[in-house]
Structure 1
Amino acid sequence: MKRDVTVDATETTFRILEMLKELDGAGVTELATRLDIPKSTVHNHLVTLRKNEYVVKHGTTYRVGLQFLEFGEHTRNRMKIYDIARPEVEGLAEETGELSNFLVEEHGLGAYLCRARGDRAVRVDTYAGMRVHLHCTGLGKAMLAHMPEARVSEILDRRGLEPRTETTITDRDTLYEALAAIRERGYAIDHGERLSGLRCVAAPITDDADNAVGAVSVSGPSSRMKGEQLEKDISELVMSAANVIELNMSHS
């Protein structure tokens, strides 16, 4: 099989942008040190990015520019499922008072398309556009449970099972058992597997072939998300929202 050919200079540009995001801004010297790239190379890439308005400069510090937001909004707004899911996400947040989320998969990672906060919602690190590993979130596990086995294996080979907390599933067999249980009961639970103390109930959104195209969830502190409220009340609300999204997708 012929290997894809990549452009080294372009890959360097993306490495610089990713590091700028990770550091929330940096100067030439810090970027060069972190990435092990000559300062002159880093400088040339930053000058080019700034000229094309993809980074901004304050003093000696460069940051990712707002033009990326325009790209993200363009991408999100062209997705039919976003417009269909958003009212249900907002309704879940209002009804439960907690944080509700909608996630899709791309390149083996989950990407949050939208979120809504109820009047009791806790503040967490997620935001629209953020990408997360699938194995450590309720949303991601709900989607993995409704993907072809070969696709799940491909994602795990590429992305691994990185531990995020003490409860993260890091063994394939254990994960496969969890996915089978999710398929049987219709929803997934995240027991603080990405963020300690945060519990989540998520339901998959599937197409006519029962393949996942997204997932919707409600998240809240473990002190509130427990017992019958978690296993019955919230799970039924989340599955109902997923069902509405599926129906609207089929008839839109």
Structure 2
Amino acid sequence: MAPSRFGAPALERGIAILELLAESPSGLRTEELAAALDLPRSSAFGLVRALHGLGWLDRDEEGRNLLSLRLFTLGVHAAERFDVQRAAAPHLRDLRDRLGLTVHLAVPAGDDRVVYLDKVDGPGIVRFDTYVGKQVDAHLTAVGKALIAELPADRLEATIARVGLTRGTDRSPATVAALQAQLAEVRARGYAVEDQEEVEGVRCVAATIGGYEQPAIAAIGCVGLTRNVPDEQIPQIAAEVIRAAGEISAQLGGR
């Protein structure tokens, strides 16, 4: 295999074994895995033994390794976010029609990033540099701040210590204290605002889906140019976003 890209060679090799077996429904013997992935036989046997012990692999009567149903369970959990997408879709369109803004649906991608799961462009010719599948730093977006506001403080601080605080503009939070102050405001008012912190001239207002009775599983946000999201209209926009988020949560059995 190629040298480790992320400083975790054993983990990368284990994932490579799982991905190769996903493409081999009839299974592969351990020596076949070693050859296909250019792994030392001893390493391959050790990794396969660990994956069996952890419940990620099964073995058939002929000694071939197969993916276990435990991976299916993970897939089911991953698919739950697409239930969110289906439930949210009409509400995103409704928000776009009510407010004339672009609307995003995002889900966590770890504790420091979010990924856009859906997007409905606003009217007019302005288009924002976002797309389904794009990952962005959580602390630079309203959808991200709405989500990480629910993280325990020590967990957030540990994440920031590990990955740092990137800055999009001079308005971006530059310290843990500055970000924590923003997140305290999010918790107090029930919605997040991103004011030209990722891109100059762009504002976003967001609220979480889920939460309170269960952890937040997603967030929706309305984004527009500052002239279309003036300070005096933010409470009105936030009320619409919170209403939509609450309706989606109710559909999913949340709030």
Scaled to the shorter chain, the TM-score interval is 0.5 to 0.7
Q: Deviations over 1:75-118 (max 9, x none)?
A: 66863111111211111111111100011002231000000012
Counterpart among 179, 193, 196 of residue 197 in structure 2: 193
Q: Deviations over 1:11-46 (max 9, x none)?
A: 9xxxxxxxxxxxxxxxxxxxxxxxxxxxxxxxxxxx
Tell me, in whole angstroms, the C-alpha distance in 1 between the residues paired with 2:79 and 2:93.
Answer: 17
**TM-score, normalising length: structure 2:** 0.66
Shift of residue 207, structure 1, vs aligned partner: 3.4
Matched residue type, 1:234: I
Tell me, in whole angstroms, the C-alpha distance in 1 between the residues paired with 2:9 and 2:136.
Answer: 26
Q: Does structure 2 conserve the Cα–Cα contact (< 8 Å) formed by 1:77 and 1:83?
A: no
Counterpart among 79, 82, 85 of residue 79 in structure 1: 82
Q: Does 1:6 align with 2:11?
A: yes
Shift of residue 10, structure 1, vs aligned partner: 8.1
Three-state SS of the structure 2 residue aligned to 1:236 is: helix
Q: Deviations over 1:206-227 (max 9, x none)?
A: 3354522111110000112113
- Distance change (3 Å), C-alpha of 1:244 and 1:4: farther
Q: Does structure 1 conserve the Cα–Cα contact (< 8 Å) formed by 2:157 and 2:176?
A: no
Q: How large is the Cα RMSD of the aligned pairs? A: 2.5
Tell me, in whole angstroms, the C-alpha distance in 2 between the residues paired with 1:10 and 1:211.
Answer: 28
Residue in structure 1 matched with residue 117 of structure 2 by the alignment: 113
User: Which 10-residue stretch deviates more, 242-251 or 171-180?
Assistant: 242-251
Tell me, in whole angstroms, the C-alpha distance in 2 between the residues paired with 1:174 and 1:227.
Answer: 20
Residue in structure 2 matched with residue 237 of structure 1 by the alignment: 240
Residue in structure 1 matched with residue 219 of structure 2 by the alignment: 215
Tell me, in whole angstroms, the C-alpha distance in 1 between the residues paired with 2:195 and 2:81.
Answer: 33
* Corresponding pairs, count: 186
Tell me, in whole angstroms, the C-alpha distance in 1 between the residues paired with 2:157 and 2:181.
Answer: 14
Tell me, in whole angstroms, the C-alpha distance in 2 between the residues paired with 1:150 and 1:212.
Answer: 18
Q: Does structure 1 conserve the Cα–Cα contact (< 8 Å) formed by 2:101 and 2:121?
A: yes
User: Which 10-residue stretch deviates more, 148-157 or 179-188?
Assistant: 148-157
Tell me, in whole angstroms, the C-alpha distance in 1 between the residues paired with 2:228 and 2:212.
Answer: 35
**Structure 1 runs not aligned, ≥5 long:** 12-74
User: Which 10-residue stretch deviates more, 125-134 or 219-228?
Assistant: 219-228
**TM-score, normalising length: structure 1:** 0.67
Three-state SS of the structure 2 residue aligned to 1:114 is: strand
Residue in structure 2 matched with residue 19 of structure 1 by the alignment: none
Shift of residue 8, structure 1, vs aligned partner: 6.6
**Structure 2 runs not aligned, ≥5 long:** 1-7, 17-77
Residue in structure 2 matched with residue 134 of structure 1 by the alignment: 138
- Distance change (3 Å), C-alpha of 1:172 and 1:202: same
Q: Does structure 2 conserve the Cα–Cα contact (< 8 Å) formed by 1:136 and 1:193?
A: yes
- Distance change (3 Å), C-alpha of 1:167 and 1:241: same
Three-state SS of the structure 1 residue aligned to 2:170 is: coil
Tell me, in whole angstroms, the C-alpha distance in 1 between the residues paired with 2:80 and 2:214.
Answer: 24
Residue in structure 1 matched with residue 249 of structure 2 by the alignment: 246
